[in-house]
Structure 1
């Protein structure tokens, strides 16, 4: 039996990258997983098929976050898939990062509004909508970023992740009386579609490895394992926390490798 048998989970942005790894891990632990996606139906179907092929249970839910009615659309599909079940676990993973559109020089008001709508506004209102479906012992896990403690040129993206960290602490405070825990997993430099520069360049991989105590960049499964802890009963006395899952990024000067 899996540690999450009988549980249900929603993973936003669950069709690719870190989100897919999270969806697959929660399903392998026994949860019925709603794999949310925005536009890539093929990727969502592939994620669900992979989960089912491994013996898990999942269904896809489409909603284009950052648009009017996004949360209504998401929960209409979610509740159909749950078929009367409650919701035990919410993972707010979906996010965008436009490299040029997030810089001070390149950002426009439209870029700013869209990035905040997807990365910060949607998680808040997803939680708000989820709470009536959640019982005591529920789990909310937000996926943030190390850019909340080190600086990058993409200031707009970093601001959204800072907002998400603050949301975690505030929600943990107010939801504690219901026994619902709220925590953040903060990835280090991880191999995803968003970090295509890392995927495409062995030199970039070497430079990142030189900054990391464990000598490599992250993989989606590294983050999924951390999320699985926060989703499990083992995390029952942990809330309002941010876990940096980064292999020991920038712990101090290192010799060149």
Structure 2
């Protein structure tokens, strides 16, 4: 069940990047956060997702893609308050207010990945990218809101901050009722997937443009969607993906 959207008096969308003309699709980029915090939003976290935002906007701007970094009210998830997810839902509502009836992709990193998955039930959302989503042990996040959405999860196998097994379990539960779920593993890489940053970004770009504009997916993505679990949920991300 989609949680109630809180009014977002201090959440906002960052500067629009991408399409200069008519907008045909929106990607909302959700930065990392912290499990518990009363502090304001993190400038460092916002800066960390700017390369992804620019990469998406640069690849899709000619087709009418606009990208925004979501600026949270604060940096803490804060238990049942799930504040980052609430801010993500507010951001979808704001995107619809600005741009009208266009498809929206939520692209989150770390705890922003959890927020993207949780907020996917908004009507305008057609797709979700979750990079190294933080999903705490002992919890079972809902997956019902992912029905009818295309979902890509990417996770480093050596992630010591966000357990990759938790994202596999969530993907497996979601795949039972939604065939459009896939998950890639970045072998021997950690939480930031820095060793394979270019490949992760290229995979995310291919997925977002394919999902928002019905482009054909690259062969590895198409194969991952088509493969039965667990194969399509443990797809290795090949070194050099997206290079030529």
| The structure with more strand, counted as a fraction of residues | 2
Deviation at residue 182 of structure 1 after TM alignment: 3.6
**Matched residue SS, 1:247:** coil
Q: Give the direction of change, closer, same or farther, for the CA distance of 1:182–1:74 in structure 2 (3 Å limit).
A: same
Counterpart of 2:141 in structure 1 is none
Trace 1:117-132 onto structure 2 (pairs within 5 A): 120=114, 122-128=115-121, 130=122, 132=123
Determine if the alignment matches structure 1 residue 187 to structure 2 residue 179. Answer: no
Q: Give the direction of change, closer, same or farther, for the CA distance of 1:86–1:94 in structure 2 (3 Å limit).
A: farther
Deviation at residue 158 of structure 1 after TM alignment: 2.9
Q: Give the direction of change, closer, same or farther, for the CA distance of 1:5–1:156 in structure 2 (3 Å limit).
A: closer
Counterpart of 1:172 in structure 2 is 178
Q: TM-score, normalised by structure 1?
A: 0.48
Q: Give the direction of change, closer, same or farther, for the CA distance of 1:125–1:245 in structure 2 (3 Å limit).
A: same
**Matched residue SS, 1:235:** coil
Deviation at residue 246 of structure 1 after TM alignment: 4.7
- 1:220-244, Cα deviation, whole Å (9 max, x unpaired): x321111122222112993364443
Report if aligned partners of 1:186, 1:245 keep a CA contact under 8 Å in 2.
yes
For structure 2, which runs of at least 5 residues remain unmatched after alignment? Answer: 1-17, 33-45, 128-147, 227-231
**Matched residue SS, 2:24:** coil
**Matched residue SS, 1:79:** helix
Q: Name the count of aligned residue pairs.
A: 166
Query: Which protein has the larger Cα radius of gyration, Structure 1 or Structure 2?
Result: 1
**Matched residue SS, 1:145:** strand
Counterpart of 1:235 in structure 2 is 217
Determine if the alignment matches structure 1 residue 7 to structure 2 residue 25. Answer: yes
Which of the numbers 120, 129, 133 marks the counterpart of 2:124?
A: 133
Report if aligned partners of 2:30, 2:113 keep a CA contact under 8 Å in 1.
no
Q: TM-score, normalised by structure 2?
A: 0.50
Q: Give the direction of change, closer, same or farther, for the CA distance of 1:21–1:234 in structure 2 (3 Å limit).
A: farther
Report if aligned partners of 2:150, 2:181 keep a CA contact under 8 Å in 1.
yes
| The structure with more helix, counted as a fraction of residues | 1
Counterpart of 1:255 in structure 2 is none
For structure 1, which runs of at least 5 residues remain unmatched after alignment? Answer: 40-61, 97-117, 174-180, 199-216, 249-257
